[in-house]
């Protein structure tokens, strides 16, 4: 495997674990605000990000490439409203999309078709993640200022259940 592609894949493990930490922080915020449904939604997001990290980890191991686990940064944002959290989630997903695109581009440059195929799932997944983040923002804009509607949205988010990724390595 190309050295740059390997380094980017290895770094992505850390970025995905950071995403899990970030979404746990979001979950804590909403739990403290009494919005258990929102807290549940982000708790599941954290589980997904952890699994994404493990997919990168497993891919590198399956390719007989060493994995280096670096320290995971602590989320450092302070939020002053529900919408700020949701907007931070969308911005973070856009950032992760850019990271996946960078890895894909590096793999493309060296004709690493196996890595490109592995990343295809993540490209699709990031599209879904950005759509979900946008949808949450839209729903909050529509319903967030009305307590009854916010309650219903919170109940909707409470119904989300965890589903492990279906990518087979």
Residue 164 lies in a domain: no
| pLDDT at 169 > cutoff 70 | no
For residue 45, what pLDDT band results from cuts at 50, 70 and 90?
very high
Q: Domain range holding 60?
A: 3-158
- Decide if 90 is inside a domain: yes
Q: Looking at residue 162, what is its pLDDT?
A: 86
Q: CA–CA distance from 132 to each of 96, 106, 136, 160 (Å)?
A: 14, 27, 6, 12
Residue range 51-103, pLDDT digits in tens? 999 999 999 999 999 999 999 999 998 999 999 999 999 999 999 999 999 99
d(CA 100, CA 96): 6
Is 64 a member of any domain? yes
Residue 168, pLDDT score: 56
pLDDT of residue 97: 98
pLDDT of residue 98: 98
Cα angle 107-126-166, degrees, rounded to a multiple of 5: 90
169 falls within a domain: no
Q: In the chain, which residue ranges form alpha helices assigned H by DSSP?
A: 3-32, 36-62, 82-109, 113-143, 147-158
pLDDT for position 167: 60
Q: Identify the CATH number of the domain in which residue 19 sits.
A: 1.20.1260.10
- Torsion angles phi and psi, residue 53, rounded to 5: -60, -45
The reply to whether 127 falls in a domain is yes
What pLDDT is attached to residue 166?
65
Q: What is the mean pLDDT of residues 146-166?
A: 88
Task: Bin 160: left if φ > 0, else alpha if -120 < ψ < 50, else beta.
Answer: beta
Residue 163: per-residue pLDDT: 82
168, part of any domain: no
Name the packing angle between helices 82-109 and 3-32 (round to 10°): 170
Range 133-145 average pLDDT? 94
- For residue 165, what pLDDT is reported? 72
- CA 89 – CA 96 distance, rounded (Å): 11
| Number of domains forming the structure of the chain | 1
């Amino acid at each position: 495997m190309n050295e740059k592609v390997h380094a980017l894949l290895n770094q992505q493990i850390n970025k995905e674990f950071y995403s899990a930490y970030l979404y746990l922080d979001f979950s804590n915020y909403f739990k403290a605000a009494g919005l258990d449904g929102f807290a549940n939604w982000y708790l599941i997001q954290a589980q997904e990000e952890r699994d994404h990290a493990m997919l990168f980890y497993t891919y590198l191991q399956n390719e007989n490439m060493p994995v280096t686990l670096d320290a995971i940064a602590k989320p450092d944002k302070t939020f002053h409203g529900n919408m700020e959290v949701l907007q931070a989630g969308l911005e973070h997903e856009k950032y992760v999309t850019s990271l996946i695109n960078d890895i894909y581009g590096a793999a493309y440059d060296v004709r690493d078709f196996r890595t490109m195929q592995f990343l295809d799932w993540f490209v699709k997944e990031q599209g879904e993640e950005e759509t979900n983040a946008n949808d949450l923002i839209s729903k909050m804009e529509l319903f967030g200022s009305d307590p009854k509607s916010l309650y219903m949205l919170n109940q909707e988010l409470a119904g989300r259940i965890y589903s492990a990724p279906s990518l087979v390595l």
